Amino acid sequence: MEKSKGVAYCDGNYVPVDKATIPILDPAFTKSDVVFDAVSVWNNQFFRLEDHLARFRASCKYVRMNLPLSENEIKVILAQCVAQAELTQAVVFMLCTRGRYGGGVAFGDPRTCRNQFMAYSVPYYWAIPKEHAETGGHLWIAETRRAPNVAINQRVKNFNRMDLTMAQFEALDAGADTPLLLSTEGHLTEGPGYNVWIVQKHKVYTPSDNLLEGITRLTVFDLCGELNLIAKAMDLSPEDLIEADEVFISSSAGGILPVTKVNNALIGDGMPGPISSQLGKLYWEKRAQGWHATNVADILVKPTLHPANHGHIKAREKIRN
Amino acid sequence: MEKSKGVAYCDGNYVPVDKATIPILDPAFTKSDVVFDAVSVWNNQFFRLEDHLARFRASCKYVRMNLPLSENEIKVILAQCVAQAELTQAVVFMLCTRGRYGGGVAFGDPRTCRNQFMAYSVPYYWAIPKEHAETGGHLWIAETRRAPNVAINQRVKNFNRMDLTMAQFEALDAGADTPLLLSTEGHLTEGPGYNVWIVQKHKVYTPSDNLLEGITRLTVFDLCGELNLIAKAMDLSPEDLIEADEVFISSSAGGILPVTKVNNALIGDGMPGPISSQLGKLYWEKRAQGWHATNVADILVKPTLHPANHGHIKAREKIRN
């Protein structure tokens, strides 16, 4: 078991994440017919696990998938993926895949599929490389636009990311850290794995439409409340971003990270802004205090809930016995 | 070897298609960062193989992937996937996947990936079930829209298909065969694996924008030329479709198939139209005569070009020796 790289739960077994695979004929691959969620673990504690699970269930419902496991079974699997990998800092993915078409055909009726649950842990990572984020990240407003909700509902966390990837090439080519995509209407939306925020005259704003409503985005609203800062979701333009006093991003992969450059233009004085820094500091302080935390070990204390190395059905039978 | 289900070429080996997998950490899965093409085989003959290969190369170039194999090596692999499966009628897929990020991380720079070639054959299938297509298919204009080119370039054959899948649920729920998606501007685009056509006053029209320019679509233009029919690509509305004299679809999976119903409304007299039928008949007649055909066996006659059961690099070394 290559513990440091993460552990996957796949077909009812725990395996090193590098060994985990999916069938090439699963529409999860051939049609990106899969939804997911990703929850962070810091010092052995999940953050807002219930919120991630609720959003994951909503994603499944939207694409008409039935999770073959209960909430408790899923929690145990997620905790096992962390514990078996011996990771104290991790990002943990939960996926529901469409599963193969009835009869094993390559092209068929999605209603005939038996939906599958998968999960995996990987070492914690940052939406912007950590060393850049400390001095302030560089966002790139890409030419490629984010696919609109009317085509691909971005409130549903999904792997249809060709737009994000093409935008990422634009950003990397330009020497920036990560792209920020506009909607087809020209409003700011989101980047790969993060929401964007601006601070203008001590008020905090984030885009409202055509994006995933991040759990860390929700957390920023909470933290703004604690700091008596007005925070609001609304349509924002590229100009709003460039002219902001401060810019930061929120992500399960890194928390709250300052941005000091957008398309080569400095934001404010080019240093991480005071409100961004205050929010980032408060985020980690409160997490250290156990805010919205669920201990990995606490989930694993009940041995009867432990489906390790059993198939879904076997695991459920075991729990019922 | 389950020959009847197809054979895949994966990691340099030929395996039953049901056994072929991709790593869950490959961005080909986690970001649908993969392009593909699909060519039909009828009576052991590929149809327009060169055109499919050219489009595949264009797709790879657009998403900045480098195919690790030569054109000849790819042809041999595609032929092997058919021959080893002992399929005389098949659809053969060629894929280029992004490949794992450098360092094996879960989230990284796509420029660090070693792009991979994969292929697989499956038994021939129809974009609309064959038994329905014979009497005329039923299309469903879906509420879900096709993602626009500015986000996901649909000229690039890709697996970002959540829009197609959600639309497919709409169609199947309504008792139709397959969905037809509108662009965000409200024009007809395409459905899963097919282009749509209308006949109006002996002229033939197909949508022009935000779609894959199908090889069978190109073939319809050729056949119309032979039959002295005017054929034109242009913006078409749902009303153009409903009010058409005839409707048909074109696809590598089925050729030219008549449509007699759209959203429960009959097209014309509800019978397959004469021009649709004439085009469909001519398509199969010309294929039987060897039009644009490449024999599977002819590709496999040169043993030095045969990379069976060797890795990419080994296969190339063998060819050079």
Crossing angle of helices B71-85/B312-320, nearest 10°? 110
User: A3-124+293-320 in CATH: which number?
Assistant: 3.30.470.10
ipTM given for this complex? 0.92
Q: CA A232 to CA A228: how far, in whole Å?
A: 13
Per-residue pLDDT of A141-163, as tens digits, reads 999 999 999 999 999 999 999 99
Q: Chain B residue closest to A98 (CA)?
A: B165
Q: Is a pLDDT exceeding 70 seen at residue A82? A: yes
| DSSP secondary structure, A15-83, as one string | EEGGG-EEETTSHHHHT--EEEEEEEEETTEEESHHHHHHHHHHHHHHTT---SS-HHHHHHHHHHHHH
pLDDT at B302: 67
Task: Give me the pLDDT at residue B314, please.
Answer: 41
Q: What is the pLDDT of residues A254-297, one digit of tens each?
A: 999 999 999 999 999 999 999 999 999 999 999 999 999 999 99
CA gap A67, A114 in Å, rounded: 9
Residue A174: partners with Cβ closer than 8 Å, 6 or more residues away? A140, A263, A264
The pLDDT score that the predictor gives to residue B316 is: 36
Architecture of the domain spanning A130-288:
Alpha-Beta Barrel (3.20)
Q: Which residues are bridge partners to B203 per DSSP?
A: B200
- Cα B117–B121–B126 angle (5° rounding)? 125
- The span from the CA of B247 to the CA of B251, in Å, is 14
With a cut of 60, say whether residue A310 has pLDDT above it. no
Name which of B21, B162, B168 is nearest A160 (Cβ-Cβ).
B162
Q: How far apart are CA B127 and CA B241, in angstroms?
A: 19
CA dihedral B166, A216, A68, B144 (to 10 degrees): 0
Supply the pTM of this predicted model: 0.93
With tokens 């020209």, the residue in question is A186
Domain ranges of chain A: 3-124+293-320, 130-288
What kind and span of H or E run contains A172? helix A162-173
Where does the pLDDT of residue B303 fall: very low under 50, low under 70, confident under 90, or very high at 90 and above? low
Q: Which residue has the tokens 């990998």?
A: A85
A-chain residues near B22 (CB < 8 A): 21-22, 24, 29
pLDDT reported for residue B104: 82
Chain A interface test: which of B160, B164, B185, B251 (most A C-beta within 10 Å): B160
- Asked if B18 and A6 come within 8 Å (Cβ–Cβ), the reply is no
Mutation target to probe the B interface, by most B beta carbons within 10 A, among A13, A17, A26, A32 is A32
Q: ∠ at Cα A248 (A247, A251), nearest 5°?
A: 155
> Contact at 8 Å (CB) between A83 and A298?
no
What CA–CA distance (Å, rounded) separates A266 from A270?
A: 5
pLDDT at B310: 44
Q: Which of B21, B158, B163 sits opposite A22 (nearest CB)?
A: B21
Token output for A262: 């957008």
